[in-house]
Structure 1
């Protein structure tokens, strides 16, 4: 898709060169969604790839740069990365172009990097418009379908994954109406070294839904926790009642596996 209304392209090499990110300015990383449909309101693109961010940096945990591609993320060895990226059901072209940061900032319920980061207690590192920096859990960063907590002028710099969750036992399940279709429900379970059980649901809901227990819950406790979902997502990729039903099945399978 040609962006016919774009008249300016900026490719900053430092934060100081980012310039103003106001109305009509779109941040470009992979661009797989940006170029997929008309963007009549966009007149300027700001290409972040010139900033030279490392895709993956090992600290106490792992920092995933916002411009890290899905292919790089899937090959990183991070628990669940391959499964989550595979849930996108995209071609190799998408995997080698789409970025972790772009996926999170798009805020789609079925975003695979959203599922990964929310399940592993990922923290979004955000460059603020005033030159500062703030952090917030990715599970709270996504507010709804294509809605995030990113304010005007802000840029997602990275996603930090803590060492504690990287060493947890995990289980992954996914359901879709067709083998290559968009995810209807993605359910991830995690048991931390201290025995805490965390279940994260994405794709079936507008924003990540997480429940935690001090140990492995009973089946009835887990089902009751899913009753806390206020609204199940509805689109051509799945009706709310179907998403609720398959999510319960997947959650109980995960409980059995991790128990």
Structure 2
């Protein structure tokens, strides 16, 4: 369980981080929470020559909100801070739910929201609701910044759109629409410290009548190499008032879109069945919340 020899850097500013990642390139790894990185190093899966610890960079931390515009969350913000944020709970409830389900309390106080996306595990908790909420990521480098939707940032299993010399710096979440609600649900082999075998998130907005679905974004996790944004569910539900018949059709559409695999946590058949169950539950709950029921 010994790690390889490496050189450690603890920059204090974003500019220092960008210069280090530019000069050290692929020989370096960013250390944020370390809950995935250190384990991988101990298992000899990766052997970086340099670690760049960004925990001292205040520019990469915190939750900031501007009414009418939305929220900005620093990539090095701890999952526990998101879990216990009254703002996140009020405005972005699906993210609040997912943060509370990630690992143990000890892990949540170490792990970061940026690390959860950069690790790009298909079973990660927070990317699913972030994508449903319309989150964009801001990527920084010595050359400047670029921005993209999170669903474009995660390109596959353990793969992101980060180029050499770039660092994920923050997430940008839009202001929630009036008469909208978001929800997250998951299924694991047990109800404690378990990697999700399926997770889903939905963000829906109702029309002025308070019943017709105006917009809906439905996302599935752990059934595809990356967060899977449904096309079938919005096609069925947009412009409709929710009913049990429509819920069942939405569940069937989601099952058809899912591309699960069989592994130690669940079979592909079980995952596909659970997708349907969670689809019905999460949409029904979000719809009731948007109605104020």
Q: Same fold (TM over 0.5)?
A: yes
Give the alignment of 1:49-128 within 5 angstroms. 49-53=55-59, 54-59=61-66, 60-77=69-86, 78=88, 79-88=93-102, 90-128=103-141
The gaps in structure 2 that reach 5 residues or longer are 208-213, 289-293
Aligned with residue 43 of structure 1, among 38, 42, 49: 49
Measured after TM superposition, the shift of residue 164 of structure 1 is 2.8
Residue-by-residue CA offset, 1:65-93 (whole Å, 9 max, x unaligned): 001001001112311233102332x2221
Do structure 1's residue 198 and structure 2's residue 197 form an aligned pair?
no
Distance 1:243 1:76 in 2: 31
Distance 1:178 1:186, change over 3 A: same
* Aligned equivalent of 1:151: 163
Measured after TM superposition, the shift of residue 21 of structure 1 is 4.2
Aligned with residue 220 of structure 1, among 236, 246, 249: 249
Aligned with residue 200 of structure 2, among 181, 184, 187: 187
Secondary structure of the corresponding residue to residue 205 of structure 1: coil
* Aligned equivalent of 2:264: 236
Contact 1:185 1:247 in 2 (8 A): yes
Aligned residues: 255
Contact 1:21 1:154 in 2 (8 A): no
- The higher radius of gyration belongs to 2
Normalized per residue, which structure has more helix? 2
The gaps in structure 1 that reach 5 residues or longer are none
TM score, norm. by length of structure 2: 0.80
Distance 1:64 1:166 in 2: 22
Contact 2:202 2:282 in 1 (8 A): yes
Distance 1:67 1:165, change over 3 A: farther
Distance 1:21 1:243, change over 3 A: farther
Higher mean alpha-carbon deviation, 182-191 vs 208-217, is at 208-217
Which runs of structure 1 show a deviation greater than 4 angstroms over 4 or more consecutive aligned residues? none
Distance 1:165 1:208 in 2: 22
Distance 2:3 2:64 in 1: 33
Distance 2:273 2:172 in 1: 32
Distance 1:166 1:4 in 2: 52
TM score, norm. by length of structure 1: 0.90
Distance 2:178 2:150 in 1: 16
Do structure 1's residue 140 and structure 2's residue 152 form an aligned pair?
yes
Distance 1:159 1:134 in 2: 12
Distance 1:145 1:100 in 2: 17
Distance 1:247 1:87 in 2: 18
Contact 1:121 1:165 in 2 (8 A): no
